[in-house]
Every structure is written in C-alpha cells, then in structure tokens.
C-alpha cells in the first residue's frame, strides 16, 4: 500500500516528481520539465485509449520515454454535486433564510447572500414517490444546467429582518452572468470503480439511482468509463491529489480534497479495486463551463441528479505510471450487487465480479445466467473530454500541477464508517 505523505519543501511547494518514492526504471521526468515542453509546443499528449495501444506496440519503457501526458475522463451522474452561489446584495439588503431557484429549494445557513444548490434538490410541491414510481422531472441538476446554458431563472428569497439586513423578501430573475460568483463545488466525483447493479427479486421491478432494474436478473446497469476513467489509470493515487488541475465540464478546475465516502478496499494484483474506492472532491468556475458536459438527469422512482464530465491529466513521470496507464477494460473487475436486498440492507454481500470489457460488450454472466448490460455513464462524451484536454495541453492553454498533498490511502480518512442507529 502506498503511504500518504507530504514533502515539506517550503510553503506552497512540493516535490515535483510526486512519487512517494522513486519507481523502478530509468525514465524520470518532472512536472516542470513537462510544463516547459507544453510552453514550447513540444509536449507529447495522448488519451488513455491511445496510451494502451502505444504500450502494447512499443512496451512500457518506450511509452514512458515517448509520452509526457495521458488524458483520462469520465462522464455520468454524480449525485454529490452542487453549486455555491453568491447572488449579490439587494437594496435594502436581505439576510436570506429561505430561497428558491425556479421553485427548487436552495440551502442557506451561510452568509447573507451565499447559497448552495444541491444537484438532487427538488421543488417542495414535487409529488416525489407518493405515486410510485415518481417521475422526478425537475430539480437542482436541471437548474444548474440552465444557468450554465445562460438561461434566465426565477429567484425567490425570504429573511426574518435585522437592523443591518432589513429586507424580508425578494423576487427577481437571475442569470449566471448576473451572479457575483458561481462555483460548481462537488463533494464526491469520479468514483474509482463502482457497483454493477442488478435485481434478484423474482417479481418486483426496482427504481434506483442506478436506473430501472428488472426482476430476476433482468438487466445489469453500471457507471464508469473503465480504461478511460481517471482513477483506474492512477490506482494508487500517485499522480492525482489535492491541488491537481483538472477539467470540470470543460472549465479549468481542481481536486480540492478527497471525496466523501473515499476508502481503501481490497485490490487485484494489478491494483484495481474490487469495490467502490477512492473519490475526489472537485471545484471549478461555472461561468467557464460548457453545458455539453453538464446535464440535469431524471431518474424514475429515485430523484434528480447531475451528469458531470471530468477530465484529468496524468503526468508520465516514470515507467510505473506508464504501466498503470496501460490498464485494459478486461483488467477492471467490478462487484455485482443485488439492489433488492443487499444494497438497501447494507449487507456488504456481492454476487461476484465481472470485467468492464464484458460490460461494454453488452452481456455478462451472473449466477449462470447471461444478463444484458447498460451504462449510466457515457464513454463517448468522456472520450470527447479527454480529447478536449489533450488539445488544450498541446495548444499551450492548460498546464499541469503537482499535488500539494497526497490523498489518503490508509488510516481513518480512508475508512468508510456506517451510521450507528441507537
């Protein structure tokens, strides 16, 4: 297991080789050397998809010598996402206690006009699941997408009135441009592996955040981009950490912490986790985003969400990094979980492991039965993002940053605790 640690080389500085110990091999590069190549237009950048072919044809050492950066990406529903907004002060001022955007409840409890719009927030009058399965046609994820598209949204807010904030209500319209700041501040994105969801109940159809699951193992839904996904290409978090510059929905952003529910789990011999593992907390400026890579999502019988596109560059500083970036879809094993009993009851049981290559081909064998598969993530959109990041690096408009601190790989910060109900 790679240990978490920080190189204390001065305020705001870290060892640019960010290796946590040198990898075996003769290829050694630094972030500064690669950024100098970017500035001179001499950097060699490939997508994770292209890197696998290079390693296969030329070997790990030659690939490490030849390639400077590998771009990775993922695109899919990421429920733990939201927008931190500052709407500005009215005349007279108001201290907002309750607020709505297009009728969707916005969280307050911060300073007077700071608000947080969660991707899964609903309108108070949404019927939810009172008529099961609920349609969940509109919510926070859709409002965030509309703002990024430049559309006008209706704003309604209420306060209790103070000497310094005497106003008690306000109704107006807002656009992304009119806001002082709008930051997509996501507590949990880009899961390293995830469940393959199935339904073992013989009769009942399930409506879940993993989509509709037909009874008797009628289908299997999954959500990852496999060999293109960031954390499968950096399984031990040697290159991706706090401070890593990334793209979020096409805008420059950063990993600002480890994501909620981040944990360390059992791995295969190639370092691939056998269960949902590491996650990232990400941040980026909504005013620079492309709505092509940010979509409101409606999940029948469950709720609303936000599909987020994230692209992350991996600096090829040594041969070990090149080897990890050669991970194939067939190397990636994902747990099959029954959402009729084991997931809702949190039993921890699985029905086995299946490889991502088979999932992408559309059929897997579970318990002796051939089961059709379908993704909630979009490999096509993720590949678009990986290509976009590749072109920005080649064009000299995106430079790499090393982490300022490793993401946790052991200890309490890497443990997932259950809520104890007394």
Q: What is the DSSP string of 382-418?
A: HHHHHHHHHHHHHTTS------SBPPP-SSGGG--PP
- End-to-end, the C-alpha distance of the chain in Å comes to 35
Please pick, among 11, 164, 418, 421, the residue that the annotation labels catalytic: 164
Query: Dihedral through CA 8, CA 12, CA 15, CA 18, nearest 10?
Result: 110
**Is-contact 150 177, C-beta < 8 A?**
yes
pTM above 0.75, yes or no: yes
pLDDT of 410: 87
Q: Give the DSSP letter string of 235-283.
A: TT-SS--BT-EEEETTEEEEEEEEPTT-----B-TTS-BSSS---EEEE
For residue 7, the model assigns a pLDDT of: 34
- Is 79 among the catalytic positions? no
Which stretches in the chain have pLDDT values below 70?
1-25
Residues in the chain: 422
At residue 357, the 3 state secondary structure works out as helix
Contact status, residue 79 vs residue 311, Cβ threshold 8 Å: no
Residue 3: what pLDDT?
Answer: 38
Reference 334, options 224, 246, 175; nearest CA is 224
- pLDDT at residue 198, rounded to an integer: 98
pLDDT on residue 5: 40
Report pLDDT for 121. 98
Q: Residue 260, Cβ neighbours under 10 Å: how many? A: 12
């Amino acid at each position: 297991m790679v240990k978490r640690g920080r190189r204390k080389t001065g305020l705001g500085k870290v060892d640019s080789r960010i290796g946590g110990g040198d990898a075996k091999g003769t290829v050694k590069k630094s972030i500064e050397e690669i950024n100098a190549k970017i500035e001179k237009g001499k950097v060699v950048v490939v997508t994770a998809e292209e890197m696998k072919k290079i390693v296969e044809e030329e070997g790990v050492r030659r690939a490490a010598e030849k390639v400077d950066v590998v771009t990775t990406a993922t695109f899919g529903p990421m429920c733990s996402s939201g927008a931190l907004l500052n709407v500005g002060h009215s005349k007279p001022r108001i201290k907002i206690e309750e607020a709505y955007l297009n009728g969707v409840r916005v969280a307050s409890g911060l300073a007077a006009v700071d608000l947080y719009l969660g991707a899964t927030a609903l309108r108070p009058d949404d019927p939810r699941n009172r008529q099961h399965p609920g349609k969940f046609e509109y919510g926070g994820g859709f409002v965030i997408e509309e703002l990024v598209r430049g559309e006008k949204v209706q704003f309604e807010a209420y306060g209790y009135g103070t000497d310094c904030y005497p106003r008690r209500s306000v109704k107006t319209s807002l656009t992304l441009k009119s806001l002082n700041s709008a930051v997509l501040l996501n507590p949990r994105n880009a899961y390293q592996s995830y469940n393959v969801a199935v339904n073992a109940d013989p009769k009942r159809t399930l409506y879940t955040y993993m989509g509709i699951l037909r009874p008797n193992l009628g289908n299997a839904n999954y959500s990852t981009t496999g060999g293109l996904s960031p954390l499968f290409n950096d399984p031990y978090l040697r290159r991706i950490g706090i401070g890593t510059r990334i793209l979020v929905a096409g805008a420059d952003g950063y990993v600002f912490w480890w994501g909620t529910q981040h944990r360390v789990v059992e791995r295969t011999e190639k370092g691939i986790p056998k269960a949902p593992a590491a996650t990232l907390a990400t941040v980026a400026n909504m005013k620079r985003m492309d709505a092509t890579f940010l979509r409101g999502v409606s999940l029948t019988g469950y709720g609303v969400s936000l599909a987020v596109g994230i692209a992350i560059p991996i600096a090829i500083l040594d041969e070990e990094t090149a080897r990890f970036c050669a991970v194939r879809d067939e190397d990636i094993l994902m747990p099959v979980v029954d959402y009729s009993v084991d997931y809702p009851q949190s039993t921890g049981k699985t029905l086995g492991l299946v490889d991502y290559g088979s999932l992408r081909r559309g059929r897997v064998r579970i318990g002796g039965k051939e089961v059709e598969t379908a993704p909630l993530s979009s490999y096509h959109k993720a590949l678009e993002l990986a290509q976009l990041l590749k072109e920005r690096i080649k064009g000299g408009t995106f430079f790499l940053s090393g982490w300022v601190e490793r993401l946790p790989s052991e200890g309490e910060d890497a443990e997932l605790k259950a809520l104890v109900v007394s």
